[in-house]
A and B are shown apart, each in its own frame.
Chain A
Amino acid sequence: MASITLAQGLNEGLRYAMTQDPKVVCLGEDVGKLGGVFRITDKLQTEFGEDRVFDSPLAESGIVGTSIGMAIYGLRPVAEMQFDGFTYPAFEQIVSHAAKYRMRSLGRVSLPLVIRIPYGGGIGAVEHHSESLEAYFTHTAGLKVVTPSTPSDAFSMIVQAINDPDPVVFLEPKRRYWVREDVELPVTDGMPFGRAAVRREGNEVTLISWGPCMRTCEEAAEEAASDGVSVELIDVRSLVPLDIDTILASVKKTGRAVVVHEAQITGGYGGEIAARIMEDDFLSLHAPVLRVAGYDMPYPPAKLEDIFLPDIDRVLDAVDKVLNY
């Protein structure tokens, strides 16, 4: 057992995948000598050489576009976007090619590539460094979209993402990079890819979240428990594919659901989950599904990010509302 951070879980997972499969390569801005601005690729270049871990020129469309080419050849590229807000130049390659290649080749060519993106706020960063872009990708059929919230998941999910035959947008909740967990490496008993985890069992309200907001939800569930309210907490882990069965089973039990994410509320993925619960099991619901999310504004400057990010009070307010509906 070793105490590792989520960032180290990713680093160890990449190392493991690269050792297992010589076709895995890592590329991106500053991923080589520097080991990435968050050190997720730390020391990998020294260990695996410059043909396996290399700096790209400063161009995100290039990073993803060339990764697509490498995947067509038969490599398994792991492309790093330095920050969420700098993914946009790669948008065309992701949406027009990564997501569509399987369909356009009638299933003949799949693209096993991983696009790693540190995302979300809460670290006091300057503008463009705190964006939650999951909905852009969940809206784009053909991409898998996953996000770990614990160090052990970080390890097993990055390995699974690399082994997956489809393009995976791998969202790394950067404010959780430094959370710790005692982990036995390598993690080989992780949950299957695409599955949600019930992090806490309860029977009155289902709280649904992922990555960045898991901590807030854990604390809210704890506080609710001390007020005698039993909250079941689901870590979605995989937005696409969505483990809807785990969510519905929970809602059948509790009859109430609150979805929490820090992305702006309009068009956020919470709306998708809420709609599916309502469509699939309306009669189990005692209250409308509520969303706690960022406001419909550009992510605010650091000094105001606390008003934007869902906090325990806002989550508990929603829990209260569905209980007292």
Chain B
Amino acid sequence: MRGVVDPASISTEMIQMLAPDGSFVGDGDFEIDLKEEDLRQIYRHMVLARRADQEGTNLQRQGELGVYTPLLGQEAAQVGSAYALSERDWIFPSYRELAVAMYRGIDPSSVMHLFRGTVHGGDWDAREHRFAYYSVPIATQMLHAVGFARAAQIEKSNIVAITYFGDGATSEGDFHEACNYGGVWKVPVVFFCQNNQYAISVPLSKQTAAPTISAKALGYGMPGYRVDGNDVLAVYAVARETIRRAREGGGPSLIEAVTFRRGPHSTADDPTRYRTKEELAAWEAKDPIARFQTYCKNEGVLDDDFIKSCDDEGAQIATNIRASIVGAGPRPAIDLFNNVYEEMPETLRREYKQYEEEQSAREGDE
């Protein structure tokens, strides 16, 4: 009907290259420019992330981390999108993007320290890795990405920003503001939503009445993509196209990667209260790594030696994380006082002095 936008007319299909059984189905609208070595690296990054992630859960279960937010099941969404970035592009994550962090060369222990409670944000140099600090308040990081991209646009630096967030995040006001600013300013930003079906216990159906998350893009004048988030090739292809368009001045895009969080929301969560075994099993059957491994083996790109070398490397990373985390004590208290401002205000200096006096009095008591 003239003058009417009908939600029923929106395509809910997903862009897909690999079927869950690993067979190549392709998608004529997207090309893939990956070489054999790229395929191996993508596989490797997914395997390493999964192993490091598992170690996060293990360490929490053993009481070494306060809490941990597992990414299990979301490896393809994260690695596929990150692989499409160029080195100078910036990443604005939420709190589940361990695979992206590792892809950017961040030691996973630095991420785990946040969950151990030795640091806030994360113990890495954001500028060195072009990976901003974890952002726990939902959707807030999206605006930072837009501002960063606006700066890149002003300075004509050819840098693109990508920001990661969940399906729940699309309900926050900051999501709307970020998409709207992005569209109005036409900045080089990619909004990457990992639709893992739940925000803690709340299913997507209670989060939005939109036919898809990608459909929301329309309201901001940008293209929206709905992609099989467990298909690393499809994610890569879509991310590559949106990043290229952003770099060429074509403005932002919204990607909805349809995936599933197979672990708990965090280790403090009990998902049996709100989802079924059957639902979980159905998604386990769509495992992103198994699917890609089958494909690569069929293509003759992966052999058993390489697979083993990835597993060994993963085991080594897990060992390193463990060594860094187990028993790690607090950082010096002075760091806290020193990092509130560039220069410590006089009142805070007095608080520190009092703290020190109390500390030495205590030591004297012991």
A interface residues with partner B (beta carbon < 8 Å)? 29-30, 32-35, 37, 55, 57-59, 61-62, 85-86, 88-89, 124-128, 265-266, 295-298, 300-305, 307-308, 313-314, 317
Contact = CB atoms under 8 A, between A and B. Distances in A.
A303 B348 contact: no
Contacts of B185: none
A301 B329 CA distance: 11
Contacts of A313: 358, 362
B97 to A, nearest CB: 15
A57 B206 contact: yes
B362 to A, nearest CB: 6
A307 to B, nearest CB: 5
A314 B330 contact: no
A88 B138 CA distance: 11
Nearest to A300: B336
Contacts of A35: 273
B330 A301 contact: yes
A59 B66 contact: no
Given A124-B66, A126-B115, A30 B355 contact: no
Contacts of B336: 295, 297, 300, 304, 307-308
20 contacts: A29-B199, A32-B201, A37-B200, A55-B201, A57-B171, A61-B173, A62-B173, A85-B136, A89-B137, A126-B67, A127-B114, A127-B136, A296-B347, A297-B337, A300-B336, A303-B116, A304-B331, A304-B333, A307-B336, A307-B355
Interface stretch (B2-10, B118-126, B311-319): B118-126
A61 B206 CA distance: 17
A92 to B, nearest CB: 9
A45 to B, nearest CB: 11
A25 B331 CA distance: 45
A126 B173 contact: no
A296 B340 contact: yes
A59 B274 contact: no
B200 A30 contact: yes
Interface in B196-230: 199-202, 206-208
Interface of B: 66-67, 114-121, 136-138, 168-169, 171-174, 199-202, 206-208, 268-269, 273-274, 329-331, 333, 336-337, 340, 345, 347-348, 351-352, 355, 358, 361-362
B98 to A, nearest CB: 14
Contact of B117 (A61, A86, A297, A302): A302
Greatest chain B CB density within 10 A among A57, A58, A124, A298 is at A58
B171 A58 contact: yes
Nearest to A86: B137
Contacts of A29: 199-200, 202
A59 B331 contact: no
Nearest to B169: A58
B136 A33 contact: no
Nearest to B168: A58
B351 A295 contact: yes
Nearest to A317: B358
Greatest chain A CB density within 10 A among B66, B329, B340, B347 is at B66
A58 B351 contact: no
B117 A124 contact: yes
Contacts of A307: 333, 336, 355
A303 B269 CA distance: 22
Given A57-B207, A126-B136, A303 B358 contact: no
Contacts of B117: 124-126, 301-305
Contacts of B115: 126
6 pairs of A and B residues whose beta carbons are closest in the complex: A302-B117, A57-B171, A34-B201, A303-B330, A58-B168, A58-B171
Contacts of B269: 37
Greatest chain B CB density within 10 A among A300, A301, A313 is at A301
Contacts of A300: 120, 336
Contacts of B355: 295, 307
Given A29-B202, A59-B172, A296-B347, A37 B268 contact: yes
